[in-house]
Structure 1
């Protein structure tokens, strides 16, 4: 019985010590709660894009957004290219949600086919802008299409990677105004620019440092 008591005591002491630490992880602190606009989408939002995000989602505080989407999207796009994917889709690179609300915004990336840039979906009510290869924006969706030449895409000197960035609202009652369309494109441009920089695209895949809102004729 003495031997049993000596065994139990160290175990109990160890459990007590573990409870004093964060998730038994030593002195490692929990991940910072990323709830401001600037912290969304792996810190890819410019100051203008952060303000645009606050405007279209009508809040300054967001549901916690963990890191990791930027690296994952880069890996998915390079894998798609190696597999010679024409039109590809993936889970959102980032998801921005409002506490206690149905309002949510997703941004995702994939490859596009020059003949069917939107894939199986042909959205209506979008307006064209002169940015990248093509840019389209409306109150509930925005698209930004670019082509990328990079060492990450083997053979892209002859066959540039065609990258589609897509911003989608799951719930929105925003009006179809130039200000709303431009705000959506500002957010999407900022995240797309970070993606093409991460991929090492020549000339940032043709994207300017700041978004361009020159309308294209219908």
Structure 2
């Protein structure tokens, strides 16, 4: 009888509490942002408090890694998806930040043009190549993994961060903040995919400029 009474004493108070706001360290699932990337997110978004993501907005690294692996197995490429979306809680601040991944097919990568800064981006010595401007960054790295083509065939993976309505200027601190975000997320993806030597990505970001923007 007592067991029945205890079972019946539950109610709304037993439901998991749904947060109404998240910090920069919490907004991206699975802890994909290292401390420098958390600071970078606060810098490019101009916010420290974020709205909880809506359903499907922040799929997480594990889910996107599965999509990448399945897409590569079927078509030799994959659009992947959005691992994280950070929306500032302040309605006046529209600088939303999204982090995503893809695997381009060999045809899409003809001549490596898709991975060139073409003078529009600053280029950095990170992974195979890294591109950054004040409101965007891309990081390309090779992943040799049993989840993709095996340990003897590296597959090109691309991580990206985009800041909606972010600065269109040319501010080094914003470029480096974007690099910190995309590096941290890409390292998490390399580990999730089981990339050999973490895809050549260092555990700690060291910013090394390779080519300046020319336009």
Q: Give 1:63-78 correspondences, 5 Å limit.
A: 63-65=51-53, 68-78=59-69
Q: Find the residue that maps to 1:164 and give its secondary structure.
A: strand
Q: TM-score by structure 2 length?
A: 0.80
Cα RMSD, aligned residues only: 2.8
- Alignment deviations for residues 29-81 of structure 1 (CA, whole Å, 9 cap, x no partner): 13445611111221211111111111111111011137642111110110122
CA shift, 1:180, in A, is 1.1
* Residue from 24, 28, 36 that aligns with 1:41: 28
Q: Is the 8 A contact 1:129 1:214 kept in 2?
A: yes
Unaligned regions of 5+ residues in structure 1, if any? 1-16
* Residue from 62, 73, 76 that aligns with 1:85: 76
Q: Is the 8 A contact 2:130 2:137 kept in 1?
A: yes
Q: TM-score by structure 1 length?
A: 0.79
The question of 1:186 aligning with 2:180 is answered yes
Q: Which structure has the larger Rg over C-alpha atoms? A: 1
- Alignment deviations for residues 89-121 of structure 1 (CA, whole Å, 9 cap, x no partner): 2431111111213211111101024426675xx
Q: Find the residue that maps to 2:70 and give its secondary structure.
A: helix
The question of 1:102 aligning with 2:73 is answered no
> 2:144 & 2:74 partners in 1: Cα distance?
17
Q: Is the 8 A contact 2:137 2:160 kept in 1?
A: yes
Q: Find the residue that maps to 1:39 and give its secondary structure.
A: coil
CA shift, 1:123, in A, is 7.8
Q: Is the 8 A contact 1:129 1:212 kept in 2?
A: no
Q: Is the 8 A contact 1:56 1:183 kept in 2?
A: yes
Unaligned regions of 5+ residues in structure 2, if any? 1-7
- Alignment deviations for residues 2-29 of structure 1 (CA, whole Å, 9 cap, x no partner): xxxxxxxxxxxxxxx79x723xxx8341
Q: Is the 8 A contact 1:149 1:202 kept in 2?
A: yes
> 1:118 & 1:176 partners in 2: Cα distance?
23
Q: Is the 8 A contact 1:133 1:146 kept in 2?
A: yes
The question of 1:202 aligning with 2:196 is answered yes
Which residue of structure 1 lines up, in the alignment, with residue 40 of structure 2?
52
